[in-house]
Amino acid sequence: MSNRADACSILHYALLLTPFFSISTAASNCSPRPVLSEIRNVSLPNANGQQNRGIAFRVGTPGQELIFDPRWPTNNIHIYGSDYSGGCGIYSDTACPTMRGGLYVQRDSTSAGAALGSTAAEEDDRMVPQSHFISDVLSIDNQTSPPLPIGIQNTIAQNKIPHTPLHVLGLGDNSTVLQMLKDTEKIASRTWTKFNGWIGADKEHQRDGYMLFGGYDRAKVLGTGHKIPIGKYNSNCRSRLRVFISDLGLNFPNGTYVSLHKFSLSRNLQPFESCILPYYPLLLSMNNGNFFDRFMQAIDLNSTEWSEGLVPDGRVIPLEKSLPDVNLTISILSGPSITIPYHQLFLPQRDISETTGAVMITGPEKILPIKEFTDNEFPILGELFLSAAVVMANLDAGVFTIWEANQESNDQQLVAVDETGQEVTEFCEPASATTPTSSPTNSPLGSENESTEASEPDRGAVIGIIVGSVVAVAMVVTASSFSGVDIGGGKQRVQ
Ligand SMILES: *[C@@H]1O[C@H](CO)[C@@H](O)[C@H](O)[C@H]1NC(C)=O
Ligand SMILES: *[C@@H]1O[C@H](CO)[C@@H](O)[C@H](O)[C@H]1NC(C)=O
Ligand SMILES: *[C@@H]1O[C@H](CO)[C@@H](O)[C@H](O)[C@H]1NC(C)=O
Ligand SMILES: *[C@@H]1O[C@H](CO)[C@@H](O)[C@H](O)[C@H]1NC(C)=O
Ligand SMILES: *[C@@H]1O[C@H](CO)[C@@H](O)[C@H](O)[C@H]1NC(C)=O
Ligand SMILES: *[C@@H]1O[C@H](CO)[C@@H](O)[C@H](O)[C@H]1NC(C)=O
Ligand SMILES: *[C@@H]1O[C@H](CO)[C@@H](O)[C@H](O)[C@H]1NC(C)=O
């Protein structure tokens, strides 16, 4: 009797739960749509309306548009405030706000608040010394986050080149932004993807790039991608994205391929390791077996003048030199071959005007965005390598993927990836991507008034969990060694 009663109530219970089970089954097969941030010229009200290039997030209420650059191993967000003084290196007060990607005005933000969590979080962020922490909201892809810890750098007395030109988006192992996006179910895994776009001389050779969080865009990559475990932290490779290069060489218009690899002449190609550092402002930096000399010989170039401006430490190409349309192919061991087209290999010199604060081309000479190491520093593939390659790093799965970019594709086919690296193409939200909101400029998804219960059917779009805790990491990263290489990211070589 009691057994039957139990069976009945269990059945009843199960029937009651059925709809919930089916919802949860559907939910486990779907994923939030990856969050997109374009890399492009952004107009900056907080820099006198000037433009700079990068990914823009809005900080505070009302949102202030600021440009960020991803950094490793930093975990936090660090921004430069309007009270910032004396820290622009050799940039003038007019050029400084553009160089920084806009300056944050704390008093204008009604959501700015006191610091959250542990101040020890600063330990990991020594490259931006003297930040003090506050909290404020961040809008990514028009969706507002809960308050996040934000380091503000208001005063810094250094007369050298700034090491971090733009605002800092920490994408380290315990990144507050990636964790927030995951906790609020905006992304299924702590994954970021970057394609830098093109910054060539003419419009034809300029393309916007993007960063994606929580997945990648299959329409903008070629092939299946090459997966590599994310390495251990090491000051040689702060991003932990190490790849082996099996060869690199030049493709001449007449069909000739010239290897620049040091072992190629002995027919004994030895792969060598290199670090993908997506914020390093050059294409690459290496002196592996006199790579640089071979490169210069192959294109019959002799330049001893260093580049300045937004792509510093490369070489200025003398005006009288006519350049062949050579492409540089970088072959990843058992992975894709990445071909940097000639129009991204010889770039205009851009810098910020001291008098107007505008980004402009500073002269007729082209520059070669390659730095020659004078000793055996670790080879680097920088930001401009991502003009022809796409990198996706999944911190939860501990794996990154490198693809050859489908550089000219304008299609979009977003794919989410989960914590195990599985791809998910079904998104847990209404098919229409343009869900109307009551306030289009600043959708109130993160507002306290939004009840999680009331929004049950649309869990993926609700920010419910406040991310406040920040994990302390005691890494000794000094300002001078921050980038791992001797580069300012600023205006000119430090002599
Ligand atoms: C990240 O945080 C966890 C604890 O949540 C800690 O064990 C780990 O060491 C941290 N990793 C880094 C790289 O800071
Ligand atoms: C170099 O790249 C350009 C642009 O992708 C392409 O049109 C051209 O055919 C390539 N040249 C060689 C020699 O591979
Ligand atoms: C192709 O061009 C390169 C560079 O100008 C030259 O060194 C090479 O000899 C040429 N190859 C042929 C087959 O013409
Ligand atoms: C390159 O130019 C410098 C200075 O103009 C000169 O000293 C050097 O010998 C030149 N190198 C070659 C390989 O022509
Ligand atoms: C972005 O701004 C730079 C500097 O003003 C300019 O040279 C470039 O053409 C712009 N790019 C696009 C895609 O408009
Ligand atoms: C975000 O909001 C701006 C201004 O309201 C709008 O122009 C833009 O299209 C929106 N972007 C997305 C991805 O919805
Ligand atoms: C949230 O609620 C408070 C008081 O309950 C109200 O003053 C405020 O206007 C509300 N905000 C929104 C965005 O609805």
pLDDT score for 287: 75
Evaluate if residue 215 carries a pLDDT over 60: yes
pLDDT score for 438: 36
pLDDT score for 37: 96
The least confident of 138-152, 364-378, 407-421, 466-480 is 466-480
pLDDT score for 135: 94
Evaluate if residue 398 carries a pLDDT over 50: yes
Which residue's alpha carbon is at the smallest distance from atom 9 of ligand 7? 449
266 lines ligand 3 (CB under 6 A): no
Q: Kindly indicate the confidence band of residue 132, based on its pLDDT and cuts at 50, 70 and 90.
A: confident
Mean pLDDT of the chain: 79
- Nearest residue to 282 (alpha-carbon basis) of 328, 243, 221: 328
Q: Which amino acid is at 267?
A: R
Distant-in-sequence, close-in-space partners of 166: CB < 8 Å, separation ≥ 6: 52, 54, 67, 68, 69, 99, 100, 101
Which residue's alpha carbon is at the smallest distance from atom 9 of ligand 6? 142
Evaluate if residue 432 carries a pLDDT over 50: no
**Gap between the Cα atoms of 169 and 74, Å rounded:** 8
Average confidence (pLDDT) over 246-274:
82
How much distance in Å is there from the Cα of 218 to the middle of ligand 3? 37
DSSP 108-147: G-TT-B---S-GGGGGGGTTSTT-EEEEE-EEETTEEPPP
* Greatest alpha-carbon span in the chain: 100
The least confident of 83-87, 90-94, 279-283 is 83-87
The least confident of 55-69, 126-140, 156-170 is 156-170
Average confidence (pLDDT) over 295-322:
90
Q: Kindly indicate the confidence band of residue 190, based on its pLDDT and cuts at 50, 70 and 90.
A: very high
373 lines ligand 3 (CB under 6 A): no
Which residue's alpha carbon is at the smallest distance from atom 12 of ligand 7? 449
Q: What is the CA radius of gyration of the chain?
A: 24
Average confidence (pLDDT) over 130-142:
87
Among 137, 449, 450, 455, the mutation site with the greatest number of ligand 7 atoms within 8 A of its Cβ is: 449
Higher pLDDT, 14 or 136: 136
111 lines ligand 7 (CB under 6 A): no
pLDDT score for 380: 94
Q: Kindly indicate the confidence band of residue 129, based on its pLDDT and cuts at 50, 70 and 90.
A: low
**Gap between the Cα atoms of 410 and 40, Å rounded:** 15
- Nearest residue to 23 (alpha-carbon basis) of 336, 410, 460: 460
Distant-in-sequence, close-in-space partners of 379: CB < 8 Å, separation ≥ 6: 245, 272, 273, 274, 275, 284, 285, 286, 287, 288, 373
Q: Kindly indicate the confidence band of residue 20, based on its pLDDT and cuts at 50, 70 and 90.
A: very low
pLDDT score for 84: 64
How much distance in Å is there from the Cα of 447 to the middle of ligand 7? 8
How much distance in Å is there from the Cα of 129 to the middle of ligand 7? 37
Query: Could you read off the pLDDT of 25-62 as tens digits, one per residue?
Result: 344 589 999 999 999 999 999 999 999 999 999 999 99
Phi, psi of 19 (to 5 degrees): -60, -35
Ligand nearest to the CA of 76: 1
What's the pTM value of the predicted model, to 2 decimals? 0.81
Percent of the chain whose pLDDT exceeds 90 = 57
pLDDT score for 475: 28
Structure tokens, 327: 């492409």
Evaluate if residue 66 carries a pLDDT over 80: yes
pLDDT score for 261: 81
Which residue's alpha carbon is at the smallest distance from atom 7 of ligand 6? 441
